[in-house]
Amino acid sequence: MPPTDGNAAADRGDRLAHHKHDLTGALTTISGRAQLLARRVQRSSTLADDERARMLDGLAAIAAEVTAGVAILNAMSCDGRDDGRAEP
């Protein structure tokens, strides 16, 4: 028996929730690694000041994109519609 509209919507919501969870986990890993790398760059005694600044700027750009990606994921409801809410 084919799924009814209610079951299809529930299946779609489950898949979306699963993908959101996976993507959020990946973004969390990227964010954490960027933070660790930023600390190493800040503490490095072998980097020139301009090189350190460039690297930290690049890492800040990564952090900003991760934050934007998480906000987009949080704004998505499980039924696939944008509910306008962004969780912190």
pLDDT of residue 77: 65
Tokens at residue 67, please? 């934050």
Q: Round to whole Å and give the CA distance between 27 and 63.
A: 9
CB-CB contact of 42 with 52 (8 Å): yes
Q: Say which residue, 77 or 83, is predicted with more confidence.
A: 77
Q: pLDDT for 1-46, tens place per residue?
A: 455 556 777 788 888 889 999 999 999 999 999 999 999 999 999 9
- Domain residue spans in the chain? 5-75
pLDDT of residue 86: 45
Is it the case that residue 67 has pLDDT exceeding 50?
yes
Rounded to an integer, what is the distance from CA 77 to the centroid of its chain?
A: 16
What is this structure's pTM? 0.71
- What distances in angstroms separate CA 23 from CA 20, 30, 39, 43, 50, one per listed residue? 5, 11, 24, 30, 34
